[in-house]
Chain A
Amino acid sequence: MTVLRFDNVSKQYPGGHAALADVSFSVAAGEMLFITGHSGAGKSTLLKLIQLAERPSRGAVLFSERNLLKVRGGRIAHHRRNVGVVYQNHQLLMDRSVAENVALPLVLRGMRRGEIGKRVRSILDRLGLAPRERALPSQLSAGEQQRVGIARAVIAEPAMLVADEPTGNLDPTLSAEIMALFASLPERGTSVLVASHDLGLVKRMRKRVLVLDHGQLVDDISPEDLADE
């Protein structure tokens, strides 16, 4: 089953800059893949189209068979609840505790406090953050902050997780830990799309890789081809 499909998608910003040109690919449910390319290749734009932070200039983005061009008004928020997002700079709310940050997607879904508490404790336990439950993000290390960001992205078990340079500021050990965590998510049915320009890390993971260059999808490398390389 396909969870995400790009059909000849182009994105042109005002001023004429073409961020994506005629990009087509699809992602199966429970699949993990990487998207790589130089800075300015179009990775961030592609992720924004998935989150409906932007709309394509041409072509169609289908999420769970629904054309995102037709998603408007209040339905945009509903769509975004199905996409977990992990940012390079974490994007945590600095005036809220770890538990409150992680609970946000459940609060947005209208879940009651009791159930939210249970789920938050469970995910914080899984990610080794339970002792830091009441800490503010400013009291955490970079690695801990990133784990909080991941906990927040996956707590509501979204259909897809997108991560934009999630290991950009982390040391290799921590990067490997976080990638291992991402790799475990497809077992739970969540597709994972990671944008990274760290080719070494991408190769080590032995997953499908999409290569963007100046907004064009120039390569779609399967795990087998990657192993051969």
Chain B
Amino acid sequence: MNDRATHSSRFGAWLDHHGYSIVASLGRLLRKPWATLLTIGVMAVALALPLGLWVVLGNMARLGGEVRESREIAVFLKQDVGAAPARALADALRARGDVAHVELVTPAQALEQLRARPDLAEAIDALGADAAQAALPSVLRVTPRGDELLLADSLKTLPEAERVQHDAVWRKRLDAWLRFGGRAVLVLAALLGLGALLVVGNTVRLDIQSRREEIGVLQLLGASDGFVRRPFLYLGAWYGLAAGALALAVLTAAWLALRQPLADLSAEYGSSFALRGLDPLPAACVLVGAGLLGWLGAGLVTGHYLRQTRPTET
């Protein structure tokens, strides 16, 4: 019973000290607002840069997805395929499950489209409309549903098809750029995260230096390493949390500033693409991660200091 009471008492005191450390470390931050703001600002920039890039990449991936979805496969039919077989082929393709939409462009329609371009109109007139139309094949514009690569391969096997145009290289290049961008963001995040860690570490180191005497007294009174370390760990965590919150605020401000102009730009191209900011779950992860980063930086520096204060042996 006594043991239980003692453990309960120690646990209560441990909780008391955590509460004290949380409040006291926050108080230390607020007592030096200018220095605190500078530290948090530097950390926030270090966090906001990779985060911003990550958000931009996410939006690019979405945009790339939309563009990919809207891409068509052009099937140029052989010259000897007449209008009726071309319509029959279009109907047959519309019935397929992997095809979302098929548009038949006849040689006459193609000629009209070419004539609409001022730079080609004169050339067509010089060539003669009949000759130009005779040189143009019927084209099927096929919008895929599902895997477009498989569909393109399948369309190439059609006996009526002269050539199938599908820019798979473009897609591969975009994917490669997105993968490279993702990796670059990771590297940048690691480097700047390390920078944020060092900023917290250095700030906590300076705080430790200014409180050396106090720490020395506490140690001689019998303070454990945990007791000494705790307020600095919370100090680091506060720095991290505040920097994470500021980084999120900067990103939100940038999102608000860019959202409407980009929507207007997209609308000009007939797209409903909208810039997306950070979702709540990733934002919460950023906050927790930044807090842990601060905690880790403070822990490393405090641990190093405590090792230095061990009794010397000669």
Contacts and interface: CB of A to CB of B under 8 A. Distances in A.
Chain B associates with chain A: yes
Given A110-B13, A112-B9, A112-B12, A13 B222 contact: no
B10 interface: yes
A80 B314 contact: no
B13 A80 contact: no
Given A52-B311, A54-B311, A80-B219, A93 B214 contact: yes
Interface string B204-236: 000000000110011111111101000000000
Contacts of B224: 74, 77, 108
A110 B10 contact: yes
A1 interface: no
Interface residues of B, number: 24
Given A110-B10, A111-B13, A77 B223 contact: yes
Contacts of B221: 80-81, 85, 104-105, 108, 152
A63 to B, nearest CB: 13
B70 interface: no
Given A52-B311, A55-B312, A76-B311, A111 B222 contact: no
Interface residues of A, number: 33
Nearest to B227: A108
B180 interface: no
A213 B24 CA distance: 46
A108 B227 CA distance: 8
A57 B219 CA distance: 22
Interface in B151-197: none
B222 A81 contact: yes
Given A13-B314, A55-B313, A57-B314, A80 B220 contact: yes
Nearest to B20: A107
B16 interface: yes
Contacts of B71: none
Contacts of A82: 222
A108 B14 contact: no
Contacts of A44: none
A79 B222 CA distance: 7
Contacts of B314: 11-14, 57
A77 B13 contact: no
Nearest to B6: A110
Contacts of B225: 74, 77
A112 B222 contact: no
A120 B225 CA distance: 25
A91 interface: yes
Contacts of A104: 218, 221
Given A55-B313, A91-B213, A107 B13 contact: yes
8 contacts: A12-B314, A53-B311, A57-B314, A76-B311, A79-B222, A92-B217, A108-B223, A110-B13
Given A74-B224, A108-B221, A110-B13, 4 more contacts: A12-B314, A53-B220, A81-B222, A91-B217
Interface of B: 9-10, 12-14, 16-17, 213-214, 217-225, 227, 310-314
9 nearest A-B pairs in the assembled complex, by CB-CB distance: A81-B222, A80-B222, A110-B10, A110-B13, A77-B224, A55-B313, A91-B217, A55-B311, A108-B222
